């Protein structure tokens, strides 16, 4: 969470912006994300905009798709608004830390058990989506939002929105090259194995601080599933349900999101979530002329 800059919009639709969710220095965030509140103070939301220079039409189409989904593990999109030139989406606010900020708060890579918990939840989310023919197409560290009740994935369709099939996507703003499957980077369609590659990169990041680590950097207990996900051959990558079985032996697919028990997070991450919640609660509405 970071203060607004002069080039940030003071108002987005009916909402007044309070702060940035992501530090301005991060270049691998697929969307511009803000904490905002309605003018009457009754609603606080997380609101997203396309990056400057992105195609707003493609971004808005993905936002509309995300608003129709009710997939477990997907950050819910409650409202899509704006114009063709300035689209936005909004969701009810809940304390949430992007994975890079969670690692910063923790002071380094997450403990192996926390990575396993994170990976199992993400793998089940992808499995639930893929069985319905839905490909997320935007999984990366910045898209994973950690909450007290588990990780939620935002930035739906970020890779598809960055450039259409047939156009190279490497080097584009907001696209984390380490999470971009080779076939997607060269312009191929974003398919289910592309999500699995991105899952491997996210888990590598959580475990080492890098999306493209040396094999020896990955904790031994996580090396096999992460390496399999990161195969350059899409056909060689495991199904998300197989990743779940490796990360959480004995877990049954379809149970990870069924309960309401809080997910165990490192203490410093929990403290950072609490600080964010307090700061948002105390934030005063800016005066917009």
What are 211-239's pLDDT values in tens digits? 999 999 999 999 999 999 999 999 999 99
Question: Is the separation of the CB atoms in 51 and 36 below 8 Å?
Answer: no
- The whole-angstrom separation of Cα 17 and Cα 141 is 24
* 182 pLDDT more than 80: yes
Percentage with pLDDT > 90 across the chain: 81
Whether 60 has a pLDDT exceeding 70, the answer reads yes
Question: In the block, which residue shows the tokens 């702060």?
Answer: 19
pLDDT at 252: 53
Q: Which residue ranges make up each domain of the chain?
A: 11-94+269-282, 97-266
Does the structure show a pLDDT above 70 at 90?
Answer: yes
Query: What class has domain 97-266?
Result: mainly alpha
First to last CA, the chain: 24
Task: Please state the rounded mean pLDDT for residues 12-18.
Answer: 96
Query: Can you give the length of the chain in residues?
Result: 289
What confidence score (pLDDT) does residue 185 get? 93
The pLDDT score that the predictor gives to residue 153 is 96
pLDDT at 59 over 50: yes
Model confidence at 250, in pLDDT bands (50, 70, 90)? Answer: low
Percent over 70 (pLDDT), the chain:
94
Per-residue pLDDT, 99: 97
Contact call for residues 78 and 33 (beta carbons, < 8 A): no
The pLDDT assigned to 222 comes to 96
Quick one: pLDDT at residue 161? 92
**pLDDT band of 71, cuts 50, 70, 90:** confident
Average pLDDT, the chain: 91
Fold held by 11-94+269-282: Phosphorylase Kinase; domain 1 (3.30.200)
pTM, full prediction? 0.93
CB 33 within 8 A of CB 20: yes
pLDDT of residue 141: 97
List the one residue out of 74, 46, 44, 73 whose CA is nearest residue 62: 74
What integer pLDDT is reported at residue 258 of this predicted model?
Answer: 41
pLDDT digits (tens, 9 = 90+) for 29-53: 999 999 999 999 999 999 999 998 8
pLDDT at 260 over 60: no
Burial environment of residue 61 by CB neighbours within 10 A (0 to 12, 13 to 18, 19 or more): middle
| Three-class SS of the chain | CECCCCCCCCEECCEEEEEECCCCCCCCCCEEEEEEEECCCCCEEEEEEECCCCCHHHHHHHHHHHHHCCCCCECCCCEEEECCCCEEEEEECCCCEEHHHHHHHHCCCCCHHHHHHHHHHHHHHHHHHHCCCCCCCCCCHHHEEEECCEEEECCCCHHHHHCCCCCCCCCCCCCCHHHCCHHHHCCCCCCHHHHHHHHHHHHHHHHHCCCCCCHHHCCHHHHHHHHHHCCCCHHHCCCHHHHHHHHCCCCCCCCCCCCCCCCCCCHHHHHHHHHHHHHHHHCCCCCCC
Q: Which residue has the higher pLDDT, 150 or 236?
A: 236
Token couple for 32: 């511009």
Mean pLDDT of 266-273: 95
Residue 145 has pLDDT above 50, yes or no: yes
pLDDT confidence of residue 104: 96
């Amino acid at each position: 969470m970071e203060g607004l800059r002069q080039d940030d919009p003071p108002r987005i639709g009916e909402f007044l912006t309070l702060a940035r969710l992501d530090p301005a220095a991060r270049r691998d965030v697929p969307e511009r994300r803000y904490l905002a509140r309605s003018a009457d103070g009754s609603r606080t939301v997380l609101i997203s905009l396309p990056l400057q220079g992105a195609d707003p039409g493609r971004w808005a189409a993905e936002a509309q798709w995300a608003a129709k989904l009710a997939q477990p593990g997907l950050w819910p999109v409650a409202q899509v608004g704006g114009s063709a030139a300035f689209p936005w989406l909004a969701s009810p606010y809940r304390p949430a830390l992007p994975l890079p900020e969670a690692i910063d708060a923790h002071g380094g890579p997450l403990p192996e058990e926390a990575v396993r918990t994170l990976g199992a939840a993400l793998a089940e989310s992808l499995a639930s989506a893929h069985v319905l023919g839905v490909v997320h197409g935007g999984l990366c560290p910045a898209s994973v939002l950690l909450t007290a009740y588990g990780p939620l994935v935002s930035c739906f369709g970020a890779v598809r929105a960055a450039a259409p099939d047939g156009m190279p996507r490497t080097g584009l703003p907001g696209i984390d090259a380490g999470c971009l499957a080779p076939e997607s980077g060269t312009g191929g369609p974003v398919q289910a194995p592309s999500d699995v590659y991105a899952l491997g990169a996210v888990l590598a990041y959580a475990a080492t601080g890098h999306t493209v680590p040396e094999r020896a950097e990955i904790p031994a207990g996580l090396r096999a599933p992460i390496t399999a996900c990161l195969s350059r051959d899409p056909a060689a990558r495991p199904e998300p349900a197989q990743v779940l079985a490796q990360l959480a032996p004995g877990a049954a697919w379809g149970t990870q999101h069924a309960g309401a028990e809080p997910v165990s997070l490192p203490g410093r991450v929990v403290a950072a979530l609490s600080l964010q919640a307090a700061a948002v609660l105390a934030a005063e509405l800016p005066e917009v002329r």
